Amino acid sequence: MQFILKLFRALNSAQTPWQVTLAITLGMVVGLTPLSGIQTVVIFFLAFLLNIHLGLFLASSAFFAGIGYLFDPIFEQIGFALLTSK
């Protein structure tokens, strides 16, 4: 329940809508890509440079990492089928 209240406070904060949207979008990119890569370092640098909502950024990256973990077997089967089809 506390998480939902914090999320609503973040969405209604004094930050501009593009900062909130960018926090969710960059969190999605970090959550769905592997953590060991230069793109993760660049995205974290952008998150600090652009002054986005860091709590929302981290929460969305954790959420989308879970989504990626859940759908990974399905994506693997689709990729294998595409790569081995003649």
In a domain, 43, yes or no: yes
**Count of domains forming the chain:** 1
What's the mean pLDDT when you consider all of the chain? 86
In a domain, 25, yes or no: yes
pLDDT tens column, 53-77? 888 899 999 999 999 999 999 999 9
Q: From CA 30, how far away is CA 85, in angstroms rounded?
A: 31
User: Residues with Cβ < 8 Å from 15, sequence gap 6 or more?
Assistant: 52, 53
pLDDT of residue 19: 87
Q: From CA 54, how far away is CA 19, in angstroms rounded?
A: 10
pLDDT of residue 10: 61
pLDDT of residue 11: 59
Query: Which residue range(s) make up the domain with 21?
Result: 16-84
